[in-house]
Structure formats: structure tokens, C-alpha cells
Structure 1
Amino acid sequence: MILLTLEICTALRANDEARRAAVMAGADEPDFVPLVKFFNPVGAATWLATELGEDGDTLFGLADLGFGCPELGSFSLSELASVRLPFGLGIERDLAFTGRAPLSKWAILARRAGSIIAAETLLRRMANAANDDLPSLDG
């Protein structure tokens, strides 16, 4: 599987450039919504990425190796791509992933819940509850 499409790569690079520009201007760093989710199809490891460095390999985001302590930081795209799992599998990109919230919110929820997967469930429930409060459009 191709872990990053050109479109996602371009968006991740744009986020990195926007963050760098904010730092250079002395402004607050943007709190981006994750653009991509990677996962281990036979384990609990999950990564969310918001930025891609100039080297085209260093991603920034939230990493959860399945030990109950998700962490913000950098990780390597080439290392993710090189992982060989049982049954000939590798790390995959979640094609249906929707960021839903800024990375800081993901980090808070993932740390409280113990995993990115649990945080994703909480965010989905919050979104569904918010939609339930909206009036019906069925006439």
C-alpha cells in the first residue's frame, strides 16, 4: 500500500510550512487536524500525522505503539513503510479516516482513554451526539 498520496503529502508539507512561518513570525503554532492515520493491521499501533518535514520522511503527529501512552512527536515514514508483519502485511493507511478534531484534542483524549483507537471512538460518539441535537431535515 502507498502510505502517502501526492495530495496528502502536499497537505502535510503545507502544514509544516505554515507552522514554520508562524514560529518565524512569533505567532502561536497552528493546531492542525490530523490528515492521515496509519495502523498496524495485526496489532494496536496507530499513528496520526499533521505535518511532513522538508526531508519528505519525518512526520509529526501522535504516535501510539499500543502500550497505553500515546505521545506527540516525530516519526519516520520510511520506518513505517519498512515494517514487515505476519502474513506478508505491513503498516497501512486508513482510507476512511477523518481527522474530526485538532491534534491537541486527539492527544488529550488518547492519553485519557489509553489509545488513539479509543479516542477515535470518543470523537465519533461526540460528533454523533452533536448531530442528534440538530433538527431533522426530513420535513
Structure 2
Amino acid sequence: MELLTLTLRQRLLANGANRGDHVPVVKLFNPLGAATWLISECDGDGDTLFGLADLGFGCPELGCVSWAEIAAVRLPLGLRLARDLNFAARHPLSVYAAAARAQGHITERPHHLVRAAADLARARGSGRSRSPP
């Protein structure tokens, strides 16, 4: 399976050219472990991805990762990292990040995401939050 199709790459590059709080485009994961990435954009260099990373240690974080490094990962049994073909983001990356911070891991549970979205909206409305990542 191809981790990033041409269409996905184009969407990531378009998001990277227009900074903002984008909806994640792709979910990558380790089929043998806990590592998961929600990627929302790619810089013009074609290698620097931005998104939410959860390596399974209880502290998911927003940041950059190298596409070359992701593509080079080799796992036992001849496996590689995989793309969740059923992933369909319904919220901006900031909501996934807030829910992940609250849960200690990336979550797609609707009630966690709805709660995180409401908390972010309240915080932004009261001026307690910074602009989106």
C-alpha cells in the first residue's frame, strides 16, 4: 500500500502553502505498536510534514516529522508503517490535539472530540487561548 498517494500529497502541500488550522489529511500508524500520526500539511520541500504525533508514551504533541524518515521505517516481519484507509477527519487538527492532550493519546471517539472542540471554543471566546497551531 502506498502511504501517500499523489492526491494526498497535493492536499498536504496545498494546506502547507496556506497556514491555518487544517483538518488532518492522513492518519499513519504502526501496525505492531502504539505510534500514530495525524498529518495535516506538508512544506514546499516535500519532506517536512506537520501534524499530531503520538508515539505511545502518553504525551502526544504537535510538530514536524520528515517524510523520508517515515517512509524509511522498517518493522519486524517485513512490515512498514501503514495508512488508515478509513480515516476521515471531521475536526481541525487543534481539536484532535486538545482531545489527545486530555486523553493521553490520539483519539477519534466522537464525545472526546466534541468536548475538546467545545473547550477550545470557550477558551478562544474568553481570550485564554492562543491562535490555532
Please, what TM-score do these two structures have when normalized by structure 1? 0.77
Q: Over aligned residue pairs, what C-alpha RMSD do you find?
A: 1.5
Pick one of 88, 102, 108 that aligns with 1:120: 108
Q: Which runs of 4+ in 1 moved over 6 A?
A: none
Q: Which residue of 1 is the match for residue 18 of structure 2?
A: 18
Structure 2's unaligned 5+ residue stretches are: 115-133
Structure 1's unaligned 5+ residue stretches are: 20-29, 127-139
Pick one of 53, 56, 59 that aligns with 1:66: 56
Letter in 1 for 2:48: T
Letter in 1 for 2:47: D
Q: Judge conservation of contact 1:100–1:123 (CA < 8 Å) in 2.
A: no
Letter in 1 for 2:108: E
Identity of aligned residues (%): 58
Please, what TM-score do these two structures have when normalized by structure 2? 0.81
Larger of the two Rg values belongs to structure:
1
Q: Judge conservation of contact 2:27–2:39 (CA < 8 Å) in 1.
A: yes
Give aligned pairs, total.
114
Alpha-carbon offset, residue 121 of structure 1: 2.3
For 1:125 and 1:75, locate their aligned partners in 2 and report how far apart those are by CA, in whole Å: 24
Map 1:37-116 to 2 at 5 A. Answer: 37-116=27-106
